[in-house]
Structure 1
């Protein structure tokens, strides 16, 4: 009996955790229809409804919640037992799923993951880049990368990538020749500013700091971009000033396409951290990645 229903039980847990057939299917790499069929098959086998389905949501029934309360820890133990077999291999195998901010995916992770995957050819790394704050564990990820202010206190967090970063302000020479160069952050209210909208819909204020004085500006301008590349391109074209991560501006500054503005007010902050739950049986791919990030050789390559 258990052999025939075990895959369907895994499907139930995935759908219940994500509250969505589509999201669960994306995480498991299968079709939503196959998960729906698995749940129907399981419900027919046990003779009770396990999930309530509407066009907008999927939630466990009372019977489903009782089953999940005992099933989730049991499946976790099975996964841990299988993962423990990695201790008998020269190199761990398996899939490591990370949820990371866009800046990390585009400008920070590439050299790190290239070295890691070269050292661990048995591991598959799956990276999802998003600037929205999510519960990474409920969404099926092993770990995430975020900045200090958005990491839950019950998580373990270790530095990854640059130990400090900063936001820069810049503009094209043509723009500054036409509109003048701001000498103080408050001057920006009289300038065209290129803003960024996050996937959550939030448009952050521009924050500057010097000698302990912090100034926040709510800029206005002709463009609100959803990607850094679009914003940088508009700044190079002379449409306005831009304020963003140094990593996005360094190449344009190096070429002279953009020039620095208000450099004495640029704000530095702690770099990103890899975070994951504290648990006794850490999946082997995650354990290998944590050990790699902590290794002296890797730290020596981090600015």
Structure 2
């Protein structure tokens, strides 16, 4: 006769077999690694989610299979770029070099992320290829799996931003261990600032940004791009040596100032590459009127202090 002790032992063994067979562990623990703790002396960063929440968000993703190890660190997007390098997008060929060029609108130092590393089975480009312009094959060839990936989760919005990198050569991303880890603090909604006057323009902010992004010859890589609307008078008041306006432009006329960080190769640079560029786009006709490019830092320091007027809503 089966005793209660034997039955309990059998159930425990069965549970262990089922857990192993399912292939995915959803625990927020390190799974064979060391759990990261905040680095001493680092500044607390805002987050609406905790470390385990960020890990759960990633490991529950449909493109994550077996999880052998996972860990998460809180940092700014600027921290990640400085240590791990640019975001590398991977397609269906693990042997191919990742494609760079992913950028954000805004200051990377003010975008707070959880970098979540996963080791096991990951499909950074989805398990099944996506086909555009026609019906997919009846039985499409699945994408190959990778051994690890680093997911970047926005700590304030609590959502996946992008997969920073993935690989097959090693079981764990070595760059993750070099990333900083800040303590988390509660997010406080910023106080609203007084609105500036509306400036009438013929193009909106996304159109001004897109106009610069289409300049492939001059803009080779974008790490950050941001646009502000102001008058020519306000732009000239920045005091930057590169600030200038067309002679025929009225001081009170609107202008979009679009700053880009990455790789800027202006025609006047004779092949030289610069860290950042500032484009001026006429707010009345949408024409690009000038470009200033320099290497004094990773971002134009004067840009953040420029005003930003609202454009009419359509």
Q: Is the helix fraction higher in 1 or 2?
A: 1
Instruction: Pick the TM interval, shorter chain.
Output: under 0.3
Question: Which one has more relative contact order, counting CA pairs under 8 Å at least 6 apart?
Answer: 1
What's the TM-score, normalizing by structure 2?
A: 0.22
